[in-house]
Amino acid sequence: MRRLVRACFTGTGGYSYAKKAENVAREPGIDRVARLASNENPWPPSPAAIGAATEALRTVNRYPDERATVLVEALRRYHGDYRFVTGAGMDGVIETVIRTVVEPGETVAVSTPTFSFYGIAAAAHGARVVNVPRGEDFSVDPAEFVEACRGAKLAFLCSPNNPTGNSIPPEDVEEILEGMEGLLFLDNAYVDFADTDYRPLMRRHENLVIGRTMSKIFALAGLRVGYAFVPEWLEPFYQKAATPFALNSVSLAAAAGVLADTDRVRETRDHIGRWRQRFLTETPFRTYPSDANFVMINVAPLTGDEATEQLAAKGVLVRSCTSFPGLGNHYIRVCIGEDWENVRFLEAINTL
């Protein structure tokens, strides 16, 4: 029956998941596992958000609000007066944006190495995916990117970039927006850990979508909440293309709750900033400057898979980057966790 499956799913590929803490074979003496593979917030969301989500459970016999009103209103309070669309994680938003603007056979450009889901989702939709390699230091040359995007309906650019950690200056994004014919999806999953603000570009450009997630600094990865800043013209079409009721009522309530707790966001950000500096300087390998809650490390002469295995044996889960197209075999990505996890990581990497 395999013949019934579409060709884009029968080969290799698909999303690579990080190893689960429960599945790690631990050496004797390792009590708990440091979970530094998935760029999550190490702490649970605020009690207010948990309370709101618990309360929302009482009404799950009803369909959720298709307009996601509580979340959109909370977003307006948090960010100001922009247009927002929502989805089941930013992954859900990415799929819906592709569905809204790309006809099968049309071109989607992706700045690589980067998050793999853009290419996976575009290919699954029948698009032709063109990878546009970053420079040797993983920077993006705006003029080259614009040139490579000729004829593309949609382009994906991630800043700060996963897994390299670096940001693209807003002026360079603006140059790309001015040169591009298609729509630019700027993935800002990690922008809350950076000092860069791309939101003002929304006021000046009609071909920009900025994707955001509640899975990282806002600590709701398990509830799958994503959203995007969109230009006004796009919103009604996005709504038509979206899966009905993609975002459930429990997630909506929790997301509105965490957006109200700005003290907690600031504390997380400060914690990440302190540890990021130590991750960059206290490992015996080459590291790359990061504006995110993770650091990429070149573990040569080890491969990323070898280093990941060896660290897992010491009770530290990190992400091997060998599944990121165009990056090569020698990189790992480690995110910043709680104090004890970070200490354990620094000890472990110094014994490889």
Ligand X SMILES: *Cc1c(COP(=O)(O)O)cnc(C)c1O
- Contact between 40 and ligand X by CB under 6 A: the answer reads no
Is the bond preceding 169 in cis, omega lying within 30 degrees of 0?
no
Contact 283, 349 (CB under 8 A): yes
CB of 187 to ligand X, least distance (A): 5
CA of 199: how far to CAs of 181, 183, 188, 216, in Å? 20, 16, 10, 18
Question: Taking CB under 6 A as the rule, does residue 115 contact ligand X?
Answer: yes
CB of 93 to ligand X, least distance (A): 8
Question: How many residues bind ligand X, per CB under 6 A?
Answer: 13
**Which range in 83-91, 262-270, 309-317, 321-329 contacts ligand X by CB under 6 A?**
83-91
Q: Which of 106, 111, 27, 65 is nearest to 251 (CA)?
A: 65
Residue with tokens 């898979």: 305
When asked if residue 251 is in the footprint of ligand X (CB under 6 A), the reply is: no
Contact code string over 214-243 relative to ligand X, x by CB under 6 A: -x-----x----x-----------------
* Contacting residue, 71, 90, 157, 209, with ligand X by CB under 6 A: 90
Alpha-carbon gap, residue 334 to 76, rounded angstroms: 33
Least Cβ distance, residue 92 to ligand X (angstroms): 7
Max CA distance (Å), the chain: 59
Give the shortest CB-207-to-ligand X separation in angstroms. 20
Other Cβ atoms closer than 10 A to 307: 24
If one asks whether residue 159 binds ligand X (CB under 6 A), the answer comes out as no
When the beta carbons of 158 and 234 are compared against ligand X, the nearer one is 158
CB of residue 192 vs ligand X: minimum separation in angstroms? 12
Please identify, among the stretches 27-35, 89-97, 124-132, 229-237, the one whose residues bind ligand X according to the rule CB under 6 A: 89-97
**Residue 192 interacting with ligand X (CB under 6 A):** no
Question: Which tokens sit at 45?
Answer: 């969301």
Is 64 one of the binding residues for ligand X (CB under 6 A)? no
Whose CB is nearest to ligand X? 89
Phi, psi at residue 341, to the nearest 5°?
A: -70, -40
Q: Is 152 in the site for ligand X (CB under 6 A)?
A: no
For residue 156, the SS3 value is strand
Any contact of residue 288 with ligand X (CB under 6 A)? no
Interaction between residue 196 and ligand X (CB under 6 A): no
Instruction: Find, among 32, 39, 64, 70, the residue nearest to 249 by Cα.
Output: 64
Instruction: Transcribe 179-236 into DSSP letters.
Output: H-SSEEEEE-TTGGGSS---THHHHH-SSEEEEEESSSTT--GGG-EEEEE--TTTHH
Would you count residue 111 as binding ligand X (CB under 6 A)?
Answer: no
For ligand X, the binding residues (CB under 6 A) are: 39, 89-91, 115, 158, 162, 187, 189, 213, 215, 221, 226
